[in-house]
Amino acid sequence: MSVTEASAGARTRHLLYLAAPAIVSVTTYLVLDLVLAARAGQPEAFWSVEGYRLTMNLAVLLRMGPLFFSGILVWPAMRARGAPWWGCALGILATPLAFAVVSGIRAAAFFPPLEAAYYATNPVVVGALGAQVATAGIGALVWRWHRAGWRSPPRGWWSWGAVIAIVAGLLTTFVAVQWDGGQHLFYPWILVYRSLFAG
């Protein structure tokens, strides 16, 4: 093995080490999503209809963890491993982006490619992105507090950037999926869809 190959291998291992928390989040989301896709509409595969409902509801709730809330763990875990802030930003966006890709692929079974790609921008994707930014802000504050020492005063670990991320992320999620069921973003999203593809 040449020095160049060894160096490239070491860089790859280092990048995988830095990205491991994001990889775990994406993998967890994908496994839960595959379980849901494989078992949806198959109550006969379970011990009872109640067991089917319980299992599927639990899987949906568990899938929300990596999709909406993993930023609270991914950001500080990647920072603790030495990832730069922009690497952590990519890490927290990885799972919602995986959800967007999965949404687009599933939509491609019913719509032409451009319409399926547009579906990947749906309001739930926007809400997941906002939630990840907000939870990453919380994770960043906790990580800074831990590094400064749990007994340190707030001036040693406080970050207005993290607070802005929390507020902006929560507002985005609220508008995208919570405020009147997300209709205030859904309607403009549908209007853009119609202007692009209808007619």
DSSP code for 47: S
What pLDDT, in 10s, does the model give residues 145-154? 888 887 888 7
User: Which is nearest to 71 in space by CA: 158, 147, 135, 150?
Assistant: 135
Using an 8 Å Cβ cutoff, are 88 and 75 in contact? Answer: yes
* Separation in Å, CA 110 to CA 28, 103, 114, 117, 128: 26, 11, 12, 12, 23
CA distance 150 to 142: 9
Give the domain extent around 97: 3-197
pLDDT at residue number 53: 81
Q: What is the Cα 94 distance to its own chain's centre?
A: 6
Over residues 59-86, the mean pLDDT reads: 91
Angle between helices 85-107 and 3-39 (to 10 degrees): 40
Angle between helices 3-39 and 71-80 (to 10 degrees): 170
pLDDT at residue number 156: 77
Q: What share of the chain is helix, strand, coil (3-state, %, to 5)?
A: 85, 0, 15
What pLDDT, in 10s, does the model give residues 5-63? 667 778 888 889 999 999 999 999 999 999 888 777 777 777 787 878 887 788 888 88
CA distance 38 to 87: 33
CA distance 176 to 126: 6
pLDDT at residue number 9: 75
**Number of folded domains in the chain?**
1
Number of H helices, E strands in the chain: 8, 0
pLDDT at residue number 3: 58
What pLDDT, in 10s, does the model give residues 88-101? 999 999 999 999 99
Answer yes or no: is pLDDT of 199 > 70: no
Q: pLDDT band at residue 139, thresholds of 50, 70 and 90? A: very high
